[in-house]
Structure 1
Amino acid sequence: MLLNHEEYQSSFDKSMKCMVECEHCAEACIGEPEMIKCARTCLDCAEICRTAATFMVRGSYFVSHLSRACADICEACAQECEQYEMEHCKKCAQACRTSADAYRQIASVAK
């Protein structure tokens, strides 16, 4: 079933929060040599969340496919950020986990 874009509002909001937290975390980590993997993972996650949000707004036929990939990337980002004690990493990991759950829900409903 294709969902119209209004049905994605909660997931869209979670996706946007994840994108913002990932961008913030990446910015905080850039320049720290031991944090390069964290920064890059956050940038990748932010970009895929931005793309997913665009697909949701359009009510794209491909949102379920993209949502599965988004869930995997958000989980990977959460795992990376959870390795560190910085507050920005903790907030990013939490936003990523919440977003991953929303993406899995979309993937199970939208076809």
Structure 2
Amino acid sequence: MTQVALSQEMLGCIELCRRCHLVCLNMATGHCLEKGGRHVEPEHLKTMVVCAEICQTAANVMITGSGPHRQMCAVCADVCDACIASCRDLDEMEECVFACERCKNSCEAMTAV
């Protein structure tokens, strides 16, 4: 079996995507459900769950070392941006915003690699 050699930049992006997946899913199903109010509005929760899933998918695509990672990373960056916008004005969502910003920036860089 031949392994694909991944660049340090791509490995870093994979880790940021994995971290964003963990943070978004954990906060959506923990913090937001406990907080209630605007935190549990359907559009907000859907955005967070979709962000988590897209981040995990982007990481998985990058792991394969295949060309479509550019398109997947572009989508991931867009979805992270939507999650940032959804979380930014809510209480105690800084961890999610930070994870999404780092993932978005890294994914944007991956679109050119």
Counterpart residue number, 2:73: 67
Residue in 2 that maps onto 1:9 = 11
Equivalence for 1:108 = 112
- Supply the distance in 1 between the matched residues of 2:44 and 2:21 (Cα, whole angstroms): 14
Alignment counterpart, residue 34 of structure 1, candidates 30, 35, 38: 38
TM-score (norm 1): 0.86
Number of residue pairs matched?
Answer: 104
Contact (CA 8 Å) 1:5, 1:58: kept in 2 or not?
A: no
Aligned to 1:96: 100
Secondary structure class of the residue paired with 2:6 = helix
Provide the rounded CA distance (Å) in 1 between the counterparts of 2:108 and 2:5.
17
Aligned equivalents of 1:38, 1:76: Cα separation in 2? 10
Q: Distance in 2 between matches of 1:51 and 1:57?
A: 10
Q: Which amino acid aligns with 1:75?
A: D
Give the 3 Å change call, closer, same or farther, for CA 11–38 of structure 1 in structure 2: same
Is the 2:38–2:90 Cα contact (8 Å) retained in structure 1?
A: no
Q: Which has the larger radius of gyration?
A: 2
How far apart are residue 33 of structure 1 and its match? Answer: 4.7
Which runs of 4 or more aligned residues in structure 1 lie more than 4 Å from their structure 2 counterparts after TM superposition?
none
TM-score by length of 2: 0.84
Runs of 5+ in structure 1 lacking a partner? none
